[in-house]
Amino acid sequence: MKKFTLFGTLNTMFIALFSLLCTIPMLLVLMVSFTDEKSIQLNGYQLFPEKLSLGAYKLLLLGSTPLYQSYMISILITVVGTLLAVLITGAAGYTLSSRHVKYRNHLAMFFFVTMVFNTGIVPWYLISTGLGLRNTIWALIVPSMIFNPFNLFLVRNYMKQIPDTLTEAARIDGANDFYIALRIFFPLSLPVLATITLFYGIGYWNNWFNAIMLVDNKDLFPLQFLLFKLNSEISMIQSMQRTMSEVATTLPAESVKMATAILTIGPIVFFYPFLQKYFIKGLLIGSVKE
């Protein structure tokens, strides 16, 4: 029989209260996205609005905006970019964790320096355009594909804990580094690889900076950038209410902003539960320095 203590009860109540406080803003965003614009203007944001409306979602999903195409672009760059980034980071982590690599500590220091010093936007832009990435789908993938040093060190520290006897036994059987990495280290490092997969996936899904800097073709706009432009255009129309009052008052500006948030975070919310069991374990174990 489970024993209840005062501390345990208070701790449970505190966690429940804190979870509720974290949930309320999300529920408020959801309800405002279904609220009539006039009701928002009169009463502000409400958890229980006086009048509901689907105007924001009709504008986003049924309007003339190429939302579905942008959704496909975002899904494509998130899947492809995340897979490539995880593969590169995993291979680099295996290399730096291997005791057979003579200058692995020097290489680790080289990557660590990039965490401290940043070259800036201009060199980044010149390199990206020099590679011919402008106005191509790769402009949304390659600039963010190079592994994050933080993720690299997570993977390296995790792989360092794998016994060397497994590597030695594989080498005796004639296995090369490619085989050892893919068939031994990657499967054993699944928790930390799942963790960085979530990091990279969120980064790609939320990225709009690459589109602003490198993409002019409307057919290549990712979801985040398209919705950013849409909100900017609605705000511009609202600022012209004196000359376009009839149009401006019919635009569900505030509810569109909330609906935009719901549409953009939806896939991440559904994706997270599949990686949750690996997330904390991989983060804690991978962050332990040997």
Q: How far is CA 205 from the centre of its chain?
A: 5
Rounded average pLDDT over 269-279: 68
Do residues 253 and 234 make contact, with C-beta atoms less than 8 angstroms apart? yes
Q: How far is CA 51 from the centre of its chain?
A: 34
Does residue 230 have a pLDDT over 90? no
What local confidence, expressed as pLDDT, does residue 289 receive? 47
Closest to 271 in 3D by CA, of 171, 185, 202: 202
What's the CATH number for 65-286? 1.10.3720.10
What local confidence, expressed as pLDDT, does residue 37 receive? 78
d(CA 170, CA 177): 9
d(CA 213, CA 78): 18
d(CA 246, CA 243): 9
The chain-wide mean pLDDT, for the chain, equals 80
* Residue extents of the structural domains in the chain: 65-286
Give tens-digit pLDDT for 148-195: 788 888 888 888 888 888 888 888 888 888 888 888 888 888 888 888
